[in-house]
Amino acid sequence: MKLAVWTTESMMSCKRLVLAGILCLFSAQLFAESQLPASMAEQRARSVTQVVLGILSYARWPVEPDQLRLCLLGPTQYTDDLVKGTTQATGRPVVVRRLLASYPAIASQCDAVYIGEMTAEERSQLFASLSGHPVLSISEADEHCAVGSLFCLRVSDQQVSFEVNLDSVARSGVRIHPSVLQLSRRKAVAP
């Protein structure tokens, strides 16, 4: 009988060991799969930061700020890297903060706004409040780039590009270097 009990206990231990091994394999695979999208998301966020800083560096305000105030409005997907704060290539610090789209002093407390998801009504109210003020606007989620935003980002795994709304640029009071306008005309290269 001792032999039979030992064999049963031994088999149970082997089954547990095999089960633990299978769980480890699945856990490792799930961990690896969860890391892949995160690293792609981080890469997209870094790329968006580079494009946004590039756009900001080629913009000129009627009165140049000592530090650039970039305000994030609405839920965003690619601003993790921007939120950390940064400095432009010129050495000018970029102060980043999140605000509600309904915040009444956006036009006076922001030199640039990065716009995430918003309803049509929120967008309309935002651009009405910015009208007549030199505030550069960059939209993350404006599919048509038709109303309000100066720049509209196009984010993919391969690259980040942007479109320029020339009408909005002309009305903004912010001067944009012609080189940036030329860059927006380049078509994305197919992978």
How does pLDDT run across 40-77, given as a tens digit for each residue? 888 888 999 999 999 999 999 999 999 999 999 999 99
Cβ distance 113 to 73 under 8 Å? yes
Architecture of the domain whose range is 45-184: 3-Layer(aba) Sandwich (3.40)
d(CA 40, CA 29): 17
- Give 181's pLDDT tier (boundaries 50, 70, 90): confident
Which H or E run includes 161?
A: strand 160-164
β partners of residue 93: 87
Q: Which residue has the higher pLDDT, 172 or 89?
A: 172
Give the chain's end-to-end CA distance (angstroms, integer): 69
d(CA 45, CA 51): 10
d(CA 110, CA 124): 18
Number of H helices, E strands in the chain: 6, 9
Sequence-distant (≥ 6) Cβ neighbours of residue 152 within 8 angstroms? 138, 139, 142, 143, 145, 162, 163, 165
**Extents of the domains making up the chain:** 45-184
What does pTM read for this prediction? 0.75
- Give 28's pLDDT tier (boundaries 50, 70, 90): very low
Q: What is the pLDDT of residue 158?
A: 85
Q: Order of strands, edge to edge, in the sheet holding 136-139? A: 86-87, 93-99, 68-73, 112-115, 136-139, 151-155, 160-164
The arithmetic mean of pLDDT across residues 174-179, rounded, is 91
Q: Which is it for strands 175-176 and 160-164: parallel, antiparallel or unpaired?
A: unpaired
